[in-house]
Amino acid sequence: MSGVASEIESVKAEGHKTSSPESRRFFLSTTFREERFFLILSVFIGLFSGLAVVCFRLAIDWSRISLLGPAPAPHSLRVLFAPALVSLLIAIIVIHIFPLARGSGVNQTKAALYIFNGYIPFRTAVGKFITAALAIGAGHSLGPEDPSLQIGASLASALGRRLELSREKLRLLAPVGAAAGLAAAFNAPISAVLFVIEEVIGRWSAGILGSVVLSAISSVVVVRWFLGAEPLFRIPPITTVKPIELFAYAVLGLAGGLAAVIFAKLIAFFRPRLRALPKWTQYFQSAVAGLIIGLIGYLGAPQIMGAGYEYMDQAMHDQFTWQLMAIFAGLKILATTLSFASGTPGGMFAPALFIGAMLGGAVSGMQHHFYPHLAGSTGTYALVGMGVLFAGFLRAPMTSVFMVLEVSGNYSIIVPVIIANTFAYLISRTLEPTPIFDLLSRQDGLELPSMEEQREESILRVEDAMQTPSGLLLNSEETVHQANLRAQQSQADTFLVRLSPSGWSSITREVLETLDGEGKGEQTLGSALPTARLPYLHPDYPLEMALRYVYQTPLVPVVSRADFRKLEGLISSEAVLNKYRVVSRDEN
């Protein structure tokens, strides 16, 4: 069994151990509820994640200065050889000590949430910390955000296990830690929260949202405390967009969508092929990738090495020609593909942002060249370009918009961002239906829920299966005798009764006749009704919800949300099953 496989098996075993029924829940005292403690714990997770990310960033900087020198420049032998030599060391560490440290970390966090009951081994965090810091510092084209996310999730998971939280809470701790790690790495809490909700958890709920927000904010506070509040980039003055310029942003969206598809397809193509090579090659795959990247840097483009934030900053300030920025975008796609597909630990957020910034700058420059009246400032395009790749490559449309707004602090840019991101997202979805994280998890043999597929899934609703109300409808105000007389004229055996002031019940023909025969004919139907109130549904409820009730009563009333006494339809178990049969037949 390979190192990774055996490691996964041990994670599975640990995960199930954690979820065992014997797991003690010591917090369920009456005075201190687990929910409240969970919120406080989220703050601590944020603090610890923030501290870990600060150390992680220092480690990256330290390794970069030590390995590439204070100012990496072309034609330096360090630039040529450092990535390859360090990659050999990383490969040994990953293969022999930290097999789960490969990759970005987003899918591992999702796997912890959905498969391993929130269990992420602490040693994964340690391994990720060391190997990613070395890899990014040595110039591999990878970013620190995804590893930070995983380090945060891993710390949270370890803390939860230590405190022996319930399985449910333990599962949720991983995304809470992930949000803290990502927020600290990005210095942008809103984007981190949105990303975790959009891509990891996949749903909004008050309980988890509060914890995620608290942890993200506390981690950002820690990072700002130690490293300062300055944003990752200096945002250039953003020019107001003229309506005609929106076409230019649409072009940027198209270009970004295409670039995102190429990027994703390259990774999806190379990664499984490299992994399928003999095991001994894994010692050298990362080194070969490092050598190629070093060569690119040596020959004149050290900008594509590492996370590249300083060069995004320069692109935003018009420091490169548009041709050069287009070349950087292309080289970064190549370099990141090599780094990532070779299994070097590190993230894809920063490279995606780099590609987007360069692409935005290139599109702006090209438009300045050919249509000078159409294009605004390069900085604005570079900024929008970042969001474009986020939307197209990472397939996080909401996060992509808020990320740009949060980083720029300028809401006047929102329309171009939305337009460009929408184009990129649509192009990317059309040409590559499976998002990159889902592709990667499927390549790893994990079937994690795809948030994008879930968002796009068509939901069957009650209104799709309900029947129009055709039978007799009785009122609780009328007497039993009157109701019986009306019932005589109907063929049905069961009648719905509309209660006053609201609510529904039912009565059978037989019961009605019995009540009338017992001399209760002058009583109101409401007072004589022997059965309890019926549950009711609304037309927009998911059809699954109807399943809960249709076995309690043969007919469930479907009522209007505006007027609960207004009957919109009726639903029965037979109608529900029929609908599922039809849909299943159609799909097959």
Partner 1 sequence: MKQVDWKSLICRPSVVIASLSIIAILAFLFVNRLVHRFSEQQKALARRMFAQGQLEQRSGRPDQAIEDFRVALSYDRGNFPYQLNLARALRDNNQPEEAKSYLLNLWNRTPDDGAVNLALARLAARQGQIEDAIHYYHNAAYGRWDSDADAKRRNAQFELVDFLLSRNALPQAQAELLNLSTTLPAASEDLRLRLAQLFARAQDYEHALAEYQRVLAHHREDGSALAGAGESAFRLGRYRTAEDYLSSALRINPKENPEDEQVRQLHETSNMVLQSDPYERKLPASERKARIRDAFNAAGERLEQCAVSQGVNANAMPPESSSPTASVASTPPANSGPDLASLKKQWVEMKPKLTRSRASDDSDLLDSTMNIVFEIEQATQKQCGPGSHIDQALLLLAQTRSGVDR
In angstroms, rounded to a whole number, what is the distance separating the alpha carbons of residues 222 and 278?
44
Binding flags for partner 1, 307-336, as an x/- string (CB under 8 A): ---x---x--xxx-----------------
Decide if residue 377 touches partner 1 (CB under 8 A): yes
Indicate which single residue of 12, 19, 23, 37 sits in contact with partner 1 (rule: CB under 8 A): 37
Under rule CB under 8 A, how many of the chain's residues touch partner 1?
Answer: 36
505 three-state secondary structure: strand
Q: Residue 105: left (phi > 0), alpha (psi -120 to 50), or beta? A: left
In angstroms, rounded to a whole number, what is the distance separating the alpha carbons of residues 448 and 142?
24
Binding flags for partner 1, 53-82, as an x/- string (CB under 8 A): -xx--x--xx--x----xx-----------
Decide if residue 280 touches partner 1 (CB under 8 A): no
Q: With contacts defined by CB under 8 A, name the span among 182-190, 233-241, 403-411, 470-478 that binds partner 1.
A: 233-241
In angstroms, rounded to a whole number, what is the distance separating the alpha carbons of residues 552 and 575?
15
587 three-state secondary structure: helix
Q: Which is nearer to partner 1, 177 or 569 (CB)?
A: 177
Decide if residue 40 touches partner 1 (CB under 8 A): yes
Q: Residue 449: left (phi > 0), alpha (psi -120 to 50), or beta? A: beta
Indicate which single residue of 118, 290, 379, 392 sits in contact with partner 1 (rule: CB under 8 A): 379
In angstroms, rounded to a whole number, what is the distance separating the alpha carbons of residues 298 and 386?
26
How far, in Å, are 90, 179, 180, 339, 342 from residue 102 at the CA level?
A: 10, 20, 21, 11, 9
Q: Are strands 567-571 and 494-498 parallel, antiparallel or unpaired?
A: unpaired
Decide if residue 166 touches partner 1 (CB under 8 A): no
Decide if residue 501 touches partner 1 (CB under 8 A): no
Sign of the C-alpha dihedral, residues 67, 71, 77, 81? positive
Binding flags for partner 1, 169-208, as an x/- string (CB under 8 A): ----------------------------------------
The residues in 336-375 that bind partner 1, with binding defined as CB under 8 A, are: none
How far, in Å, are 242, 250, 251, 369 from residue 374 at the CA level?
A: 8, 12, 11, 10
| Residues contacting residue 51 through CB under 8 Å, at least 6 positions apart | 222
CB of 239 to partner 1, least distance (A): 11
CB of 5 to partner 1, least distance (A): 34
Please return the burial class of 204, using the count of CB atoms within 10 Å of its CB with bins 0-12, 13-18 and 19+.
exposed
CB of 35 to partner 1, least distance (A): 12
| Best CA proximity match to 529, nearest among 548, 515, 547 | 515
Indicate which single residue of 163, 209, 292, 511 sits in contact with partner 1 (rule: CB under 8 A): 163
Decide if residue 226 touches partner 1 (CB under 8 A): yes
Indicate which single residue of 3, 14, 23, 51 sits in contact with partner 1 (rule: CB under 8 A): 51
Q: Which residues bind partner 1 (CB under 8 A)?
A: 26-27, 29, 32, 37, 40-41, 44, 47-48, 51, 54-55, 58, 61-62, 65, 70-71, 163-164, 226-228, 230, 234-237, 310, 314, 317-319, 377, 379
